[in-house]
Amino acid sequence: MILPQDLKALVVDDNAYARAAVAATLRKLGLVSIDELTGAAAAVGAIQATRYDIMFMDWYMPEMNGAALLEVIRDPRFSAHGRVPVVMITAYPNRETMARARQLGAGEVLTKPFTIAHAAAALARLLPDGWQIPADADPGQVLL
């Protein structure tokens, strides 16, 4: 079983509230090591330098969107850290966005707003050995 406190997460979103809400969701799930970045360009450098276990990122961001970030980190020439499991987050879901995110290498796509249970289910599908919601977390609580 994965110990949440041993995981390192990256949250990338240009919206400060959204970043804080995703980080709070991950903390409710027991993660303690969470880096928050305001954009995809900064994430490229962070992913090259750090091995993350999971990454949550927004689809729509200025300068470089989630699709462009996935294209960069999934390129075979990028560092091995680019294989990090990705949960794409979007407030504007449609079939094209969902299909494109998965085609580019997102393992999961969550639609805003989502609950702790949704985030935990995404983690369970992406991380080895599954995932459990901590007993003190309200799975129906909407944080974003």
- Asked whether residue 108 carries a pLDDT value surpassing 60, the answer given is yes
pLDDT at 131: 62
pLDDT at 128: 74
pLDDT at 64: 93
- Residue 113, preceding peptide bond in cis (omega within 30° of 0): yes
- Asked whether residue 40 carries a pLDDT value surpassing 80, the answer given is yes
Q: Which residues contact 88 (CB under 8 A, 6 or more apart)?
A: 57, 58, 59, 66, 70, 101, 106, 108, 109, 110
pLDDT at 11: 98
Domain 4-123 has CATH 3.40.50.2300: yes
pTM: 0.89
| Matching residue, tokens 């989502």 | 114
Q: In this predicted model, what pLDDT tens digit does every residue of 50-106 receive, in sequence order?
A: 999 999 999 999 989 999 999 999 999 998 888 999 999 999 889 999 999 999 999
pLDDT at 6: 83
3-state helix, strand, coil in the chain (%, to 5): 40, 20, 40
Q: In this predicted model, what pLDDT tens digit does every residue of 122-142 receive, in sequence order?
A: 998 898 766 666 666 666 666
